[in-house]
Chains A and B, each alone.
Chain A
C-alpha cells in the first residue's frame, strides 16, 4: 500500500487557509492513485507530528505544499515527522532542485519519501501559465501581454526569491508572453511599481503563494494600486497608470496544483498510473468552464 501526505501550513485564525490543501487532496483521492491520502498541517490537525501514524500504508510520500525550500521544508516538517536521519544535504539541492529523500519515520517504522516542495517543481511553471489563462479567461493569452510572477522576497531565506526567479526564467524562455518579470513584496524589484517594469498595456500578475490570505488579498492589490481599499474589491483587469493589470489571487488555488503534487510523488517513485492525465483533464475542463475565475476576488 502507498499513501500520500500533503503537508501544508494551515492557520489558527483563518479557516480558508487549508482550502487549497483539501481541494488538491480531494482531486487526488478521486484518481484513486493512492490507497490513502491525508492532509497534514503545522497549525491545524492532523498535525505533521501525528499524521503518519494514521496511515496503514508502509510506503508514504510526503509532498510539502510550500513555495520554496527553506525553514519549513528543511527544518520544521522533517523534524515534526521524526525523520531522524534527515539532513537538507540529502536533497542535494541548489535551492530549487530538491526532488526527494528516502527516510524512516522513527515512531512508526514506515518508509517515508520526503519530496521537495511543490513550488519549485518544473510543473509549477505550467500552473503559473494556467493561472494567467484563467485570470484573463483566454486560453491563448500571451501575445501583447506581460506576465509578472510575484513572491515574498527575502523571507526567512534566499530560496524564496530563487523559486520566483526560476519560474520567471522558464516562462520567459517559452517566448509566449511579450515580457516576463519577477517582482517581490519586500525587496527590489518591488511589486508596488509593477507598471514601471512593463511596456505591454496588459499585465497579468500571478502571486506565487499557496493560499489566499492577507498578502494576496490585501497587501498586493493595494500596493499595486488596483484598489484604494481591498474591502472594496478590484476590477479584473484594473486600470493602473495606463496599463491593464489582471490580478486574481494565489496560484496555489489553481486546480492544476494537484498535478504538481502528483508529479512530486511520482518523481519519488510513487506508482500513480494515469492519474496525472485524469487530473490534467479535470483542471483543463475546470479552467475552460470558469473564465475570469476569481474575478473581483476582493469583493
Chain B
C-alpha cells in the first residue's frame, strides 16, 4: 500500500521537532532529512526523496500515525495498556524498578512474561490475525480494522476468557462501555458481586470493534483502577499501603481493626486474597518489611491496599478474635469429625451447589448434614458439647 498524502504531510510537519516511535526516526538536519528504521537509514534527503523513502516504510508511518495522532496520551496508563494489548515495547516500563509482579527479574506470575515485545513488522503480521491478551477473566484482541489493506487503524474485541471459542453469534454483543457495569454486577447465579475482581464474572457477552479509548473504559468498568495501578507498578511507583497503615487510618466503626492480631491478618489474606477468591495480586503485607506468609496470587494487576470488603470483614474478625478460647468435650465418631471438615471445606470452596442431591458419599451432602444435625444437636438446636475448662 502507499501511505496517505495527509499522513506524510503531518509527518513532515512533525519532522523538525523530531519523530521517534517504535524504531521510526525522522529528523530535520542541516543537510536535509534523516530517516531511520531498524533496517535502513537514509540521510541528506530532500522532501521528495523523504516522501519516497517513507512510502517504502509504510508500516512504520501508519504505526506512527496510530500511536502519535490517534492514541496520543504520552505517559498515560491508557496508552501503556493499549501498547501492552498488542505486545508493543512499553516505553515507560521501568522494569528495573518493579520489584514484584510481571516486571520483576523472574517474570514470575505473568503468562506473557516470557514473550518478547514485537517490533513493527512482526506486530503488523500478528495484528492481521489479532493479538490476544488476558486481563483477569477478560480476553482482549487487538486487530486491524482493515485486514487486507491495513492502514494502521486498530480496534479491540473483548469477551470472557471462557468464551474464547464461542461463536460470536451465540454471544450478546455490546458496544457501549457502560454496559460493562451491568454485566459486572451479578455472577452466573444472579448473585451480587461486591468485589469486582472476584473470579466470578459470567460470560455470554462480547464487545466488538471498540476504539482504544472505549476499550480502556470498558476494562475499567469491569475491573476499576486496575489499569492505573498496573501502570504505576510498571513504572516502579506503585504506592502500596500495608495492612497496619490502612487499619490505623480507619475511623468510626472500623476504628478497631488495627487490633486484629497479626496471625489473623494472615488467615484473612488466605481467606480473601488468594487467586481463587480475587484476581488482584496482593502486594500489601502486614507492614513494610514484615511479609505475610501467604501467597499473594499471580494476577496481572496489583492490589495496593486492603479493599473495602476486607476492611469490613476485618471488623467482624476483630470482634471474633477478641473472644477467649475454651476446651469443649463432644462425642463424635471418626467419620463425623471428618464430615465436619468436609462441610467446612465445601462452604469455603463454594461447592455446596455442586453436590448432587443423592450423593450421600459426600460429607457435605444436604441429607448427610441434616442427619448429623438430627443426631448431634440438642433441643436448642446447638451442637451438643460441654465446656470443660471452667
Contacts and interface: CB of A to CB of B under 8 A. Distances in A.
A79 B78 CA distance: 27
B224 interface: yes
A47 B312 CA distance: 14
Interface string A8-50: 0001111100000010001000000000000001111111011
Contacts of A15: 185-186, 192
B287 to A, nearest CB: 18
Interface in B293-311: 304-305, 307-309
Contact of A75 (B178, B186, B251): B251
A49 B185 CA distance: 21
Given A12-B194, A56-B78, A107-B239, A50 B251 contact: no
B175 to A, nearest CB: 15
Of the listed residues A11, A45, A71, A76, the one surrounded by the most CB atoms of chain B closer than 10 A to its CB is A45
Interface residues of A, number: 26
A90 interface: no
Contacts of A71: 252
A13 B191 CA distance: 10
Interface in B213-253: 220, 224-225, 227-229, 232, 239, 249, 251-252
A76 B312 CA distance: 15
Interface in A180-198: none
Contacts of B77: 54
Contact of A45 (B78, B224, B252): B224
A170 interface: no
B181 A49 contact: no
Contacts of B304: 50
B228 A50 contact: yes
Of the listed residues B73, B76, B227, B239, the one surrounded by the most CB atoms of chain A closer than 10 A to its CB is B239
Interface in A29-85: 41-47, 49-51, 53-54, 56, 71, 75-76, 79
Contacts of B78: 56
A56 B81 CA distance: 14
A13 B193 CA distance: 9
B196 interface: yes
Given A13-B194, A56-B78, A47 B251 contact: no
Contacts of B229: 50, 53
Contacts of A76: 251-252
B228 A47 contact: no
A45 B228 CA distance: 13
A54 B224 contact: yes
B224 A46 contact: yes
Given A50-B224, A79-B249, A12 B178 contact: no
Contacts of B186: 15
A141 B225 CA distance: 45
B308 A54 contact: no
A53 B225 contact: yes
A11 B308 CA distance: 10
Nearest to B220: A54
A211 to B, nearest CB: 14
A53 B305 CA distance: 14
A217 B250 CA distance: 30
A12 B228 contact: no
A150 B309 CA distance: 31
Contacts of A50: 224-225, 228-229, 304
A162 to B, nearest CB: 20
Contacts of A56: 73, 76, 78
A54 B229 CA distance: 9
B251 A26 contact: no
A56 B227 CA distance: 12
Given A22-B178, A54-B225, A79-B249, 5 more contacts: A13-B192, A13-B194, A44-B194, A45-B195, A45-B307
12 contacts: A12-B308, A14-B192, A41-B308, A43-B308, A44-B308, A47-B308, A50-B229, A51-B225, A54-B228, A56-B73, A56-B78, A75-B251
Interface of B: 73, 76-78, 178, 181, 185-186, 192, 194-196, 220, 224-225, 227-229, 232, 239, 249, 251-252, 304-305, 307-309, 312
Interface of A: 11-15, 22, 26, 41-47, 49-51, 53-54, 56, 71, 75-76, 79, 107, 156
